[in-house]
Amino acid sequence: MKVEDVPQDARFFQNSVARDVCYALDEQGNYQAVVSMGWDVKADALQTVLDDVEEQCEPIRQRVLRHEVSPLAYHMEKNLMDIDMLADNSGISKRKVKKHMEYDEFQKLDRETLENYAYTLRISVEELLTVPNNK
């Protein structure tokens, strides 16, 4: 592939700093690292994964709406995290994370803990407190 042919499909990474590095031939026939914003095959594969994650999250979303689990359970699943990962990344003990999965316990959380979870999950506190209602 030549440098000018490196794909730039920005479907997922247009407003992101994430980029791929591809190696392509320059005008002298030497390999050169070229930054790519993505390509359609990779974007299609990523969309398939995101659709699968959305499908896996739906039963949890329904449980949140019935107050059987907290919104934390939904957002954790959406971010492909388990209790161990969320605990490790947030600095909150596994025991507490597990407790915060309960709807009533989650409702009692202070702002600092909510901000910690939101930061770890890369969402706002407002998003953390809810689940999508558009299903």
Q: pLDDT at position 21, please?
A: 83
Q: What mean pLDDT comes out for the span 36-63?
A: 86
Is the pLDDT at 41 greater than 90? The verdict is no
What are the extents of the domains in the chain?
A: 3-38, 42-128
**Percent of the chain scored above 70 by pLDDT?**
93
Q: Give the pLDDT score at 39.
A: 73
DSSP symbols for the chain:
-BGGGS-B--TTTTTSS--EEEEEE-TTS-EEEEEE-B-HHHHHHHHHHHHHHHHHHHHHHHHHHTTSS-HHHHHHHHTT--HHHHHHHHT--HHHHHHHTSHHHHHT--HHHHHHHHHHHTS-HHHHT------
Give the per-residue pLDDT at 20. Answer: 78
For residue 45, is pLDDT > 70?
A: yes
Query: What does CATH list as the number for 42-128?
Result: 1.10.260
Q: What is the mean pLDDT of residues 68-93?
A: 96
What value does the mean pLDDT take over residues 73-97?
Answer: 96
What is the reported pLDDT for 84? 97
- pLDDT single digits (tens) 2-38: 888 887 777 766 666 667 788 888 999 999 988 887 6
